[in-house]
Chain A
Amino acid sequence: MSGRFAVGDAVIVKAEYPKTGHIRTPYYVRGLSGVVADALGPFPNPESLGVGGDGLPEQTLYRIRFKQTDTWPDYGEDPCDTVDIEIYEHWLEPANGT
């Protein structure tokens, strides 16, 4: 896997809110930090495919694990619960600023 991030890295989802585009990054985790749970290799970029593009350059896809208490500040169930979401690399930044 030749991605920018490795399993265990802390990352932040970009807090960007484009008005259009075939964006697969759920709104509810934009701006949140999580941890890389798996690195899945390169995949065509859906934001290009969705408008008839070639999907290039491909983006490394990750499974990012978020704590539910971060995802929903008023989460009423067990604080150990998590949600894993696939996020493409261009939506991620390192959480520690390096």
Chain B
Amino acid sequence: MAHDHDHRDFQPDEEESLPDYGVAEIAVRELLLEKGIFTAEEFRGALEGFDRAAPERGAKIVARAWTDADFKARLMADGSKVVEEYGVNMDLTELYVVENTPDVHNVIVCTLCSCYPKPLLGAPPDWYKSRNYRMRAVREPRAVLAEFGTHLADDVQVRVHDSTADMRYIVLPMRPAGTEGMSAEELEGLVSRDCMIGTAVPGSPAKG
């Protein structure tokens, strides 16, 4: 029965055509390699370094700020310098920390492109780069937050930060109630990526 089965066509891979900027990136990279400005190994290492940055790094810093008042004061005053102690180099940008309080809730967006504190938190989520989020986060932030399941009281001011130039922002969320006895290591687990963008707030630890 060897010749009885269907000779179905394979579904082609969904290979996207390269956008113009993709072609330009390859051309420039190959030129830089040829000229010996950097090696393929250095390029690979840099990419690997980008991927090493992740929201967990930010969570560690937030949890320490919750438990160490001096650290928090230094972080608010000069975020870039403080994260260097954690091996994070903000490169040509500066880290700027904005603090949530009972009266103010902060949200980060970049309406011009998709600026994001990549050296600290890694690559931004796809929605952060979407035109939808970038338009609406400044236009109707409370409606956007509600879609993320984040509902703010009416007496809380929403402060949107449009990341247009040299600062890269993270939100220092409020430490949730019921966490008084927790160590910095335990608190880290409560701080998700979205809490540091401001589209979410950390929940209290699950009971039980």
Contacts and interface: CB of A to CB of B under 8 A. Distances in A.
Given A76-B140, A77-B141, A81-B141, A61 B157 contact: no
Interface in B136-182: 138-143, 154, 157-167
The winner among B94, B138, B140, B163 for most chain A CB atoms within 10 A is B138
A77 B165 contact: no
A51 interface: no
A98 B137 CA distance: 34
A40 B157 CA distance: 23
A71 to B, nearest CB: 7
Interface residues of B, number: 21
A86 B110 CA distance: 11
B138 A28 contact: yes
Given A77-B140, A81-B141, A25 B164 contact: yes
Interface in A79-93: 80-88
Nearest to A82: B159
B63 to A, nearest CB: 25
Contact of A85 (B141, B154, B158, B162): B162
Interface residues of A, number: 25
B165 A61 contact: yes
Given A76-B140, A77-B140, A83 B162 contact: yes
27 contacts: A24-B112, A24-B164, A24-B165, A26-B111, A26-B112, A40-B166, A43-B165, A46-B165, A61-B167, A63-B167, A68-B160, A77-B140, A77-B143, A77-B158, A78-B154, A80-B157, A81-B158, A82-B159, A82-B160, A83-B138, A84-B161, A84-B162, A85-B161, A86-B163, A86-B166, A86-B167, A87-B165
Interface of A: 24-26, 28, 40, 43, 46, 61, 63, 65, 68, 71-72, 76-78, 80-88
